[in-house]
Structure formats: C-alpha cells, structure tokens
Amino acid sequence: MPKVAKVKNKAPAEIQITAEQLLREAKERDLEILPPPPKQKISDPHELADYQHRKRKAFEDIIRKNRMIITNWMKYAQWEESQKQIQRARSIYERALEVDHRNIALWLKYTEMEMRNRQVIINHSIILAFLSL
C-alpha cells in the first residue's frame, strides 16, 4: 500500500484563487504578443545544402513513420518544388503514387506542379491510368 503524504497545515490560504482567475490569467498570457522568430537568411551554398539536407531528412523520417498519410508526401513535394528541384518533386509524387494511386488530390497536385513548371508532356498511358480510377 503506497504511503500518503500528510498535510501539516490544513488552514486555508489568506488569498484564495479561483479557477476563473487562473483561466483569465492564462488567456492574458496567450494574448501577449511575442515577436516572430528571426528569419534565417542563407548566403552560403554550403549552408543552403546543409539546410536542404536537414529538411529532406525530416520529411523522409515523417514519411517513414507513416507512408499512408498522403498530405505528408504532398508537403514534401511542394517543398522540393519551392526549392526549384522539379526532378526531386516529380520523384516524390511518383513514390506517393506507388502508395496510393487512386488518390485524386495527389494526381491533381502532381499535374498542377507539372503545369506550373511547363513540364507537361502528353503521355497517353498516364491519362488512361488516371481515367481508369
């Protein structure tokens, strides 16, 4: 049987704090405006490569934990596109399609990326595969 700590002073405190006061103070602290964190400026190609490596590793770790969350794949591909790495983004979309080839949102994001980057190549087998969904 565990020991129970005994309270020595059972007298009420002089100042009583209500749950309402605690909630109000917590809300006020949330409303305090915090300055945004400083933006990181990358000026060195080595630093950029290091940043990209860290981000890619983080995305790959997230995907490895649960391959079935397609939004993680899409975020990863969109980040690669923002880095002007179209081949990598295309590869990520292709890998995601191997996981869930029936996901219409994934197909749409993939084709939108290709259209944005003017890489649209009419491939009838891809169109037929999409239409067969």
In a domain, 101, yes or no: yes
- Does any domain span residue 58? yes
**70 domain-assigned:** yes
CATH number, domain of 73, equals 1.25.40
Predicted confidence (pLDDT) per residue in 62-112, tens digit = 999 999 999 999 999 999 999 999 999 999 999 999 999 999 999 999 999
Domain membership flag for residue 103 = yes
Residue 62 sits in which domain range?
45-131
Whether residue 11 is contained in a domain is answered as no
Residue 67 lies in a domain: yes
Closest of 62, 21, 101, 15 to residue 110, by C-alpha:
101
Residue 4 within a domain: no
Contact 97, 67 (CB under 8 A): no
What is the number of structural domains in the chain? 1
What are the tens digits of pLDDT across the range 52-65?
999 999 999 999 99
Dist. CA 42–CA 46, nearest whole Å = 9
Whether pTM exceeds 0.75: no
